[in-house]
Amino acid sequence: MKRNLLAATVAIGIVTLVGCNNKDKEQNVELTTSIQQASYGIGLNMGQTLAQDGLNDLDLDALKLGMQDALGGKPPRLEDKDIIAAFGDLQARLEEKASEADEANQQAAADYLAENAKREGVITTDSGLQYEIIESGEADGAQPSATDVVTVHYEGRLIDGTVFDSSLQRGEPTDLPVGQVIPGWVEALQLMRVGDKWKVTIPSELAYGPMSPSPLIPPNSVLVFDMQLLGIQGNGDTE
């Protein structure tokens, strides 16, 4: 997983505005004017980005020195070739860490799926999708097709329990086209009947695979959903 260190250098410079090893100085920083608040917001946003990219162990003193030299119009203390070489080393370290994290995540996912499949009531389809029926609707209830739009209530979690999306928390169900969601949802929805409530466990290859749609969902993640099919639009079943 490659990181754009040239873009990150901008964030690194900005983060020094709020990065300080002196706690007394941190306590004396005022955040009352709009420019102070905007400056803090930029630093906070960039700092969070750097942390997500694994750059949370940078040398703050060196960062601060680079920022001071740039703002003060002083000549750089390092030659371009040395900085580029250092970025190369940092890039390699980030890629190694990302690779190790991906491997660990894939192993954890495989272990979770294997154990979950053994649980009583869990059904595994040919694709590897796993589901457990929590509540059943009418036995002759309507089933959606890939061309339908359905109304669902859901909550999505990672295998460690972290919630990354939830219509339940928002207090409002969601309308979505069956054929335009992740493959695991496409399959599960067409197996459900209106009124069904299932716990659905989706292997990464039926979800987002090595891609990540947001920082909340790491690559190669197994996704666990509580799903309730409330209705199918156009056939009188929607609530």
To the query of whether residue 131 is one of the catalytic residues in this protein, the response is no
pLDDT grade for 235, boundaries at 50, 70 and 90: low
In terms of average pLDDT, the best of 36-40, 51-55, 153-157 is: 153-157
Residues 188 and 203: beta-carbon distance below 8 Å? no
Q: Is 205 helix (H, G, I), strand (E, B) or coil?
A: helix
To the query of whether residue 140 is one of the catalytic residues in this protein, the response is no
Per-residue confidence (pLDDT) for residue 221, from 0 to 100: 92
To the query of whether residue 165 is one of the catalytic residues in this protein, the response is yes
Which of 148, 165, 196, 237 is catalytic? The answer is 165
Which residues on adjacent β-strands are paired with residue 163?
Answer: 157
To the query of whether residue 154 is one of the catalytic residues in this protein, the response is yes
To the query of whether residue 87 is one of the catalytic residues in this protein, the response is no
Nearest to 61 by CA among 89, 19, 28: 19
Nearest-angstrom CA–CA distance, 95 and 115: 30
Which of 53, 225, 232, 237 is catalytic? The answer is 225
Which of 208, 217, 232, 237 is catalytic? The answer is 208
Which of 42, 83, 159, 182 is catalytic? The answer is 182
Q: Which domains does the chain have, with CATH numbers?
A: 5-77 (no CATH), 120-232 (3.10.50.40)
Please write the tens of the pLDDT for every residue from 168-185: 999 999 999 999 999 999
How much of the chain exceeds pLDDT 90, in percent? 56
Which of 83, 102, 164, 226 is catalytic? The answer is 164
